[in-house]
A and B are shown apart, each in its own frame.
Chain A
Amino acid sequence: MKNSSLRFDRLPSGLWRALFGPVLGAGAVLAGALGHSSIGYAMTALLAAAAGLAWLRVGEAMKTRAAVAAIEATCKRVAKGDFEARIISDPRNNPGAGAEKAVNDAIDRCDAFVREATASLDAVCRGVYYRYILREGLEGAFGVAANAINTSVKGHEKSVRDARRDAEAEKNHVVQTIARGLARLAAKDLTVRLGDELPDAYKQLRDDFNAAIGEMEAAVRRVGTSADTIANGSAEITSASDDLARRTERQAASLEQSTAAMRELGAVIDGAANASLKTQDNIVAANKDAVESLATVERTIAAVASITESSKRIGATIGVIDEIAFQTNLLALNAGVEAARAGDAGRGFAVVATEVRALAQRSAVAAKDIKSMIAQSAASVQAGVESMAATAAAFNRIKGQIAMIEGGIAEIAGQALSQTSTLKQVNLAMADIDQTTQQNAAMAEQATSASQALAQESDRLAHMVGEFVVLSTKRNDAAAPPEAAVGNGRRRVAA
């Protein structure tokens, strides 16, 4: 507690100096510190009165001196702007109490004034204008100064308010002007431009606004042109992809027919291969038959040769028989002659001889018949032998031909196999082509729908762009005020 240090704890050493020096000094300091001579003089008078009382009683004088010292110290602090300084003393039996209270009161008023003035002006710095200095308790010059400050604050508030109002009005004007422009812009009128209606401070804003919308207008015009180009392009793409789709369809159909033909061809080739295999089997069988037949013919020829041999031996045997018959006939003749000579006795014998002769003749005839038959038979056998030989030769030729046919058939079978393999490759290739064709068809379809979508979008784009109003010519109209351009240069962007 700083203030408690200013208590009555020191005794005086030089009474006069101690009494009057500080009194006058404190009065002067106080007057100087407060800046108001009336308060200072009043206090000086009070202190002078206190000093007079001290003159009467020394003890009281000592207390008075202490009070004055406290006043002096306090006033020195106040003089340095320390408004926390106060004199805290017990008023009982204190001759300086009145003076101390007066000093405290003076400091209180100064303190109050300074706090009020500071707070009010701080508030002004924050833009708060209702924080006036409270006038209660501030009398005289304090009141005058407070009034001056309050009046100044009011004036400041008014000028700030006026400036704000003007700024607000200007802002409103600017905002409304821009809002009107933006409203037309919102209505897709890109011919809107700001003119001189904006204050000079907003020239940059106006220029930027106009430049921005000018850019927008040019951009919309370009977009319109581009939309046309896209529409044309997408129509061409649609037509081309339609063509492509149709051609791909035809190709797919042709491919299907080709595939069917290839399938048939494959079946034919398979049939040929099978037939050639079967034929090969048959040829083998035929060859076997031919070989067997040849063997049979050869065996037959051998048999016939054996017959010829037998016939020859029969012929020889027949010659012997014929010779025997001739001899027998001769003998019979001889026997007859002899029998005739013998007369009656030889008659029986003559009969036998005749009979033997008849038998010999019959044997000769039979031998002759057999001989002729054998000759006949030999001729037939010879003819048969010749036929057999011809047959064997024919069989041999057949064998050779069968071998040739077999080779040919084997070649056919080989070619059929090779064709089957080639056909398989062709089928694979055609399956590949089929898949590719289907993909092409799908892609053509996608391309068609994409180009149709593109066409729709470009239609919409053209429609949307068409809702904007732009100047039809470039330089001249852009410089003219927008209203002047209405009706002549303005147009909707061509869709």
Chain B
Amino acid sequence: MTQSAYASREMFFPENEIIVSKTDMKGRITYANQTFCDISGYALRELVGKPHSILRHADMPRAVFKLAWDTMLAGREIFAYVKNATKAGDYYWVFAHMTPSFGRDGAVVGYHSNRRIPKRAAIEGVIAPLYAAVLAAEARHKNGKEALAAGVDCLTRALETRKACYEEFVLTL
């Protein structure tokens, strides 16, 4: 995905809104709220059944998504700053809270994401440089697996230098 031909603009959504979406067990979108549709520029019918990667922005390291999926597959919630691409080629930052959805019997029935306005200072001061570094680590490898491993390694070491677990790190930014 390249935004080079288009002057990419950052889009914003109202402070008290939440961008909501749900996916099935395979990560295909089953629900997106109006705010989601409004900011991404997709109609609901364009989203339902599609994978979330439809919003994937080229600046996002793969390691972050791997961490998110690994955490949710383990049944836990995860927070992440995510840069998403709109249908028009613009972008918007969110502070995503991703959780498994549990059915009546306690089994995971799908995944849920609430996205809120991110902290601007956290993006500019920490997240954007961190993601750039992880992305650069991934870019050094052509092989997809190696690239992902390098990205995860870079992210892990960045967390180690902060002496915090990821959850505490991301929640206390």
CB atoms of B110 and A84 under 8 A apart: yes
Q: Is A442 in contact with chain B by the CB < 8 A criterion?
A: no
Instruction: Name the B residues within 8 Å of A139 (CB-CB).
Output: 16
Cβ of B82 to closest chain A Cβ, rounded Å = 15
CB atoms of B114 and A137 under 8 A apart: yes
Instruction: Name the A residues within 8 Å of B18 (CB-CB).
Output: 108-109, 112, 136-137
Question: Which one of B27-35, B84-92, B131-139, B152-160 is at the interface?
Answer: B27-35
How many A-B residue pairs lie within 8 Å, measured between CB atoms? Answer: 70
CB atoms of B101 and A84 under 8 A apart: yes
Q: Is A380 in contact with chain B by the CB < 8 A criterion?
A: no
With known contacts A84-B101, A105-B33, A130–B24 Cβ distance under 8 A = no
State in angstroms the CA–CA spacing of A94 and B97 once bound together. 31
Instruction: Name the B residues within 8 Å of A88 (CB-CB).
Output: 30-31, 44, 48
Cβ of B159 to closest chain A Cβ, rounded Å = 15
Question: Which one of B63-71, B120-128, B142-150, B164-172 is at the interface?
Answer: B164-172
Instruction: Name the A residues within 8 Å of B172 (CB-CB).
Output: 130
CB atoms of B16 and A104 under 8 A apart: no
Q: Is B117 in contact with chain A by the CB < 8 A criterion?
A: yes
State in angstroms the CA–CA spacing of A84 and B31 once bound together. 9
Instruction: Name the A residues within 8 Å of B168 (CB-CB).
Output: 128, 130
Q: Is A348 in contact with chain B by the CB < 8 A criterion?
A: no
**Interface of chain A, main secondary structure:** loop
CB atoms of A90 and B31 under 8 A apart: no
Digit string of B33-55 for contact with A (CB within 8 Å is 1, else 0)?
A: 11000000001110010000000
Instruction: Name the A residues within 8 Å of B48 (CB-CB).
Output: 1, 88
Instruction: Name the A residues within 8 Å of B103 (CB-CB).
Output: 84
Instruction: Name the B residues within 8 Å of A83 (CB-CB).
Output: 101
Query: Of B97, B109, B116, which is within 8 A of A84 by CB?
Result: B109
Instruction: Name the A residues within 8 Å of B167 (CB-CB).
Output: 128, 131
Q: Is B22 in contact with chain A by the CB < 8 A criterion?
A: yes
With known contacts A108-B33, A109-B18, A137-B17, A115–B24 Cβ distance under 8 A = no
State in angstroms the CA–CA spacing of A115 and B115 once bound together. 13
State in angstroms the CA–CA spacing of A82 and B99 once bound together. 15
Within 8 A of A (CB), among B104-119: 104, 109-110, 112, 114, 116-117
Instruction: Name the A residues within 8 Å of B22 (CB-CB).
Output: 84, 86
With known contacts A128-B167, A131-B171, A115–B33 Cβ distance under 8 A = no
CB atoms of B77 and A136 under 8 A apart: no
Q: Is A91 in contact with chain B by the CB < 8 A criterion?
A: yes
CB atoms of A134 and B31 under 8 A apart: no
Instruction: Name the B residues within 8 Å of A90 (CB-CB).
Output: 44-45
Instruction: Name the B residues within 8 Å of A84 (CB-CB).
Output: 22, 101, 103, 109-110
CB atoms of A86 and B116 under 8 A apart: no
State in angstroms the CA–CA spacing of A101 and B116 once bound together. 19
State in angstroms the CA–CA spacing of A86 and B24 once bound together. 13
Q: Is A119 in contact with chain B by the CB < 8 A criterion?
A: yes
Which chain B residue has the least Cβ–Cβ distance from A139?
Answer: B16
State in angstroms the CA–CA spacing of A119 and B109 once bound together. 18
CB atoms of A111 and B171 under 8 A apart: no
Q: Is A376 in contact with chain B by the CB < 8 A criterion?
A: no
CB atoms of B110 and A104 under 8 A apart: no
CB atoms of B77 and A3 under 8 A apart: no
In this complex, the member of A82, A86, A136 whose beta carbon has the largest number of chain B beta carbons within 10 angstroms is A136
Instruction: Name the B residues within 8 Å of A91 (CB-CB).
Output: 43-44
Instruction: Name the A residues within 8 Å of B101 (CB-CB).
Output: 83-84
Q: Is B20 in contact with chain A by the CB < 8 A criterion?
A: yes
Query: Of B15, B45, B114, B171, which is within 8 A of A112 by CB?
Result: B114
State in angstroms the CA–CA spacing of A240 and B97 once bound together. 91
State in angstroms the CA–CA spacing of A90 and B16 once bound together. 25
Cβ of B120 to closest chain A Cβ, rounded Å = 14
Instruction: Name the A residues within 8 Å of B112 (CB-CB).
Output: 111, 115
Cβ of A426 to closest chain B Cβ, rounded Å = 92
Cβ of B23 to closest chain A Cβ, rounded Å = 11
Within 8 A of B (CB), among A127-181: 128, 130-131, 134, 136-137, 139
Cβ of B106 to closest chain A Cβ, rounded Å = 13
Query: Of A1, A116, A119, A131, which is within 8 A of B24 by CB?
Result: A1
Which chain A residue has the least Cβ–Cβ distance from B116?
Answer: A136
Query: Of B16, B34, B97, B116, which is within 8 A of A115 by CB?
Result: B97
CB atoms of A101 and B15 under 8 A apart: no
Which chain B residue has the least Cβ–Cβ distance from A89?
Answer: B44
CB atoms of B97 and A134 under 8 A apart: yes
State in angstroms the CA–CA spacing of A431 and B3 once bound together. 113
With known contacts A112-B114, A131-B171, A136–B30 Cβ distance under 8 A = no
Given A1-B48, A108-B114, 7 other A-B residues pairs in contact with their CB atoms under 8 A: A88-B30, A101-B33, A112-B18, A115-B112, A130-B168, A137-B17, A137-B114
25 CB-based A-B contacts, threshold 8 Å? A1-B24, A1-B48, A3-B30, A3-B31, A84-B101, A86-B22, A88-B31, A88-B48, A91-B44, A101-B33, A104-B33, A108-B114, A109-B18, A111-B112, A112-B18, A116-B97, A128-B168, A130-B168, A130-B171, A130-B172, A134-B97, A136-B18, A136-B116, A137-B18, A137-B116
Residues of B within 8 A of A (CB): 15-18, 20, 22, 24, 30-31, 33-34, 43-45, 48, 77, 95, 97, 99, 101, 103-104, 109-110, 112, 114, 116-117, 167-168, 171-172
Residues of A within 8 A of B (CB): 1, 3, 82-84, 86, 88, 90-91, 101, 104-105, 108-109, 111-112, 115-116, 119, 128, 130-131, 134, 136-137, 139
**3 shortest interchain CB distances as A-B pairs:** A137-B18, A136-B116, A108-B20
